[in-house]
Each structure stands twice: as C-alpha cells, then as structure tokens.
Chains A and B, each alone.
Chain A
C-alpha cells in the first residue's frame, strides 16, 4: 500500500453550495479521516480553494485527487507533501488573567514561543500562536499548568513552494 504520509490536497473550485459535501463524501466513502479542512477564496476571482490534510499512502492520495477532480465544479486538485509547501495553522488559547498578572513565566513563554496576546479582558486573556501543529501543541502543553479555559486550532492553510503557482495550471479560459 505504500508509506503513510501527510498530504495537503489543494482543490480549486467554482463556488457552489453543496460542493463541500460532495468532496467530503469522497473521503467518508473510503473511511478516511480528514485531518483538517479549510476553505477560502483563491487569487483567481470566483474560484474557491479548499485545503484538506490527510494521512494516507501516495497511491490513495492520487486516487482521492482523481475522484475530486471528477466532480463537475472542481477545476483542479493537487496534492503535496509537507516539504513541498509552506503551511501554517493558527491556534487561540484562552487563559485566566491572573496567570498573566501573577506569573512572569507566562509572559516569557509567550515571547519565547513567538506567540502574542490578542486580547486582554478583565478575567481572561487570549493568546494567539501561528505555526505548525507541533508548535501550537507544544505551547498548549506549556500553558496547561496555568489552566486553559479554551483552546482552538484552525485548519491548515498552505501554499506551494515552486514558483509556478497553481492558479496558472488551472486552464481556466
């Protein structure tokens, strides 16, 4: 079956209600977990971009991409391994304000981990960290002793490294 790796699938689509469902069905039908999923506009007007992360073999990711491309409203789909892309996720951590006030440690934690304080309220503060999953997880562990009220991490967003950007491969007339 081949080695299981993390693949980022980038899908360029016409914006159409229901397409998300059509795409996720391709995964669920094969009992494959979507590790993360993000949708946004792309650099091309009217074209949306889905970014899906899966842990599968290359053989499987090729089949997935072909099934995705088969959908009428999908313009193109590509897959890449981590080394071929630059990618980030954003994580938000909500902690009690007193942890900040009382412990200088937390402040240095934030600084050393290239995180930042996004908002300060009377009772809590919100810390933001952008990075790879291991990095945001790492900060999560370090903050845990101080008590975390809420934690959330976004899906991956990614761009490819080669200069020729994917939009130019779309064949959109």
Chain B
C-alpha cells in the first residue's frame, strides 16, 4: 500500500457498495485530490451529482470553458507539483480539452482528465455528443483508457494517477461511459505502485557517472543548461550544489526558469530563440555541455548542424527516447535528475572558472548596452514591455509567481522576470498556446494561495480566454493581471517585419475596452499609457487586496531581441 490517505480509516477490507460516479469521487479523494476544475454536461452528470455530496472534501472550480479548466489544472500542477484534475462532458466538452492536453503532453505536466461518454450501447453509433475522445487524445496523452463498467473505475483512476505523476510526468485521460457512472460496484481502493510493462525511472549507469565526472573535472569551459526536469524531480537543491561545487556557469531553458534563483552568481540567463546573448553564443564555445532535464527543443538549439559541435555532451534525462533524439550525446545519464545529480556531486571536483565566467559577463555587458538598457530606460514616450518587467521586479523583488501567455510579452517576461523560488515561472513552452495565461494563473493561485500571482498577457492572447475573468470573480481568486497592449499580434508582427518585408497581414487588432470588460466582470482595473503613471499603477495593483487588471499601452512596433532566427545557429544570435 502507498502512503496512508486521509480516508484510510474508511478503507476496510469489506468493500462498500457505491455507484460508479461516487467511486470516481472517492477515488480522487484517495489520491489526495482536494481541488478539481471542470464543466458539466449530459454524459458527466452522474459524477457532478455525486460531487454534490462531497463539497467539503472536494472543491470544484467551474471555469467558463473546458479549455479554461484544463489550463487552470496545468497552472495548478505546475505551481504545486501535484497532478491537476479536470472533468468534462463527452463530445464538445472533451474536444475542448485537447489543446490543454497537448500542451501538458509536450510540457510534461501531470494531469488526470476524466470525461463522460455516451452509454456503452451507443458507442460507435454517432450518438448525441459522442466523439472518439480516446482516438482523438491518443497522440497527446501519456496514457488513456475507456471505462465501460463501474468495477473498472477505481483501478483505472489509480493507474491514471500513477502514470501521470511518475517518471516523466504527463497527461492521462479516462473516458467513462454514462452507464458505468450509474452502475453499482463494490468499491475498494488500492493505489497503483507499479505497472509491469512500465519503467518510470531508468537505472543510472555507474560507469557513465564516473566518465561524466571525469569529463567535468578535466573541462576548461564547462557549461550547464538545465530544464524543467530539475523542477519536476525536485532537484533544485542538488542542482545548486553541483553548480556551486564545480563553478560551472548555468543557463536555463524557458521551462527550467526559477529552478535556480535568477540572482545566483553562476546563473548566466536563458538559452533559446529569445534567450540571452552569452548563453546562446557560448554554447558553441564550451568544451563540455551538461544538459539536465531538458530536451534540446529546436527553439533552444537553432540549426542542429551547427549546435555545440565542439563540446562533449552529458545528458541527464529520465526519458530514454530523448537521448540522441535531436543532439548526439557522448554520455547519457539516464535517471531521475535529483538522484543523478546527487550521485554526481561527490564525484566532481571543487573548482572555479573565473576566466570562463568572465566571458559570460562580457556578453552580458554587450547585451545590456545594446538591448536591456534601451528597454528598461527607453528614449521614446512609449512604454516598453521590458520597462514594465523591470518595475515589477523592483517592487516584488522576485518573490512572485509569474504566469505568461504566448508572444512578445512572454519572451520579455522570461528574459527579465526575477525568481527567488522554484515553480515561479509558468508558461506554455513546447506548444506555445495563446490563451494559456489567464486560466493557468487561476490554477497557480489556487495551488499557492499565499504567494502573489502575476499574469502577464498580450492583448491577443487575453481575448482567447478572457471569459475566465468570470471564474476569477466567482471564486474570489486574487490575481494581478497585466495586459501589455501593443494593439498587434506582436510576435507575429515582429516576424512579418523581419522576415516578410513588413507585410502586416492580419496582425493589427481593434481591441475592446478592456477596462469596461473587467468592470463588467466586477473586477478592479486601470489603464496606463504614460511613463510617469506606470510605477504608481503597478504599486497600487500589487498592493491591492484582490484581483486587479492593469492595462498598459506599450510601443506598437517594438521587437524582442536578442534573437536566433529559425535556421540560424546559436552563434548567429542577433542583437538587433
């Protein structure tokens, strides 16, 4: 048996008779779920009916769209480290989850999605609100399963949680026919602790560990890139120890942000398309690259043929299919990042690399002069996005959770936001899903009620899920929303400017009155367009007790730099 659950006392050998729907609820409670997100409908109504009796044990957040529910569950999972839980009805309810499931799959977020399905006799008849959600979700789930009889429910849910949380986490989906929800079963819950065909954590080869340590110890210019794997395995402390003992400069991927505090002296910034100048450029200068819990996404590597060819590469990774997938690796260290780093620590020598770190600092100076300075202290009257982030940092000192949407404001936030604690940066990395921010911020706040959650969103992405303002109001969720309004689909416009001869095809937007909208939802709000109002407005918002929406008018045609253009090498990182 696993860790005793809160209901251990009710779990006796003599099982109790329940409906399938109630078994769903009891199973969730056995998995220590106390919060779930969802949206009701015909095929899931028995489960909703059962929820009615468990309102004290299980809080349900009714979002305004199933996409909102799933992004909220993602935000919850990312901020808490627990699995996010979503319930939805069949057909359109289930298909509305797909974007979030795909997002969770590519960003390794543990989710358990439960969808209702038409009664089993109707399967395959194109019944009302029947969709093959198992078929549709198959390519974007870690595992999925259709339940057609009540007896299967506890075991299916136990497996779902085990699979979602273990190894490389991911989304799972359980589709339950309505007749299975109604039928009775003898309920007896056993947590799943292993599946014979599934090895969540591969064993680490001890010899490879020694070889890796030797490489690191003999290296003149070692460089580390860490990703979300560090956060997912809870390896922040071990990362810190290895970095400090070896004296290695360390950079983060977008999803690895906040695993190491941004103020750490050896933290040299972010890699990738809009990452920092030094880490991108010097990737092609290091002699040993240690990649920890990251997957060499094309937005990180740029042109693979010219990526880090000069270095020996050590790849610490839980998922064997990531080894040699994009970048050939000299020493794979399979296993859980925390355990691998723990085992590596005693094998590596204490060292410092002042000259090498100096090269990063030189690059940082160049980047500051060419880019950061202009963004933090612009000469034009227009407020810049970077300026807003800089002012936020001055107020929060890096203590907040920053949730972003997708686009220019996302890259600016990831570049500039300061983080003191892990799990403080929540953004849609692999899928780049616009509309992610607002609902994900809801989930993040519910996961970390004592921390301040700042949602930074573009005017485009905000309009993809703005109906979740209703959820924020109804449940009194305290989120500080900042719309960085450039009246453009900014990131696409930037590409049009740089790569499509400024042919601004369908990227300029006539926006609604965002302040009137937030008033409509009963939320506090303010709009600023002048620099001298900005700081006060931010302070007012961040000290306000409750949700607040601040619209900041920013330069319409500002660009995000540095940039490694698609197809370019990381050594060709552009400063303008």
Contact = CB atoms under 8 A, between A and B. Distances in A.
A29 interface: yes
A173 B139 CA distance: 29
B197 A29 contact: no
A72 B321 contact: no
Interface string A57-74: 000001100110110111
Contact of A75 (B135, B142, B196, B320): B196
A149 interface: no
A29 B134 contact: no
B319 interface: yes
Contact of A70 (B134, B139, B146, B321): B321
Interface string B309-337: 00000000001110111000000000000
A66 B319 CA distance: 9
Nearest to A18: B134
Contacts of A13: 197
A14 B198 CA distance: 10
B345 interface: no
Interface size classification for chain A: 20 to 34
Contacts of B3: none
Chain A CB within 10 Å — which of B142, B146, B320, B321 has the most?
B321
Given A25-B138, A66-B321, A72 B196 contact: no
Given A14-B197, A74-B197, A75-B196, A67 B138 contact: no
Contacts of A66: 320-321, 323, 325
Chain A CB within 10 Å — which of B134, B139, B323 has the most?
B139
A66 B134 CA distance: 23
B142 A72 contact: yes
A67 B143 contact: no
A73 B143 CA distance: 9
Contacts of B325: 63, 66
B498 to A, nearest CB: 30
B196 A173 contact: yes
A72 B143 contact: yes
Interface string B131-147: 00011001100111010
Contacts of A29: 139
B1 interface: no
B441 interface: no
A158 B553 CA distance: 66
B322 to A, nearest CB: 9
Contact of A72 (B134, B163, B319, B324): B163
A18 B197 contact: no
Nearest to A62: B324
Given A21-B138, A22-B138, A75 B197 contact: yes
B142 A63 contact: no
Contact of B321 (A18, A22, A25, A67): A67
Contacts of B195: 72
A172 interface: yes
Given A69-B320, A74-B197, A75-B197, 13 more contacts: A18-B134, A18-B138, A18-B146, A21-B135, A62-B324, A63-B321, A63-B325, A70-B319, A70-B321, A72-B163, A73-B197, A75-B196, A172-B196
Interface of B: 134-135, 138-139, 142-144, 146, 163, 195-198, 319-321, 323-325
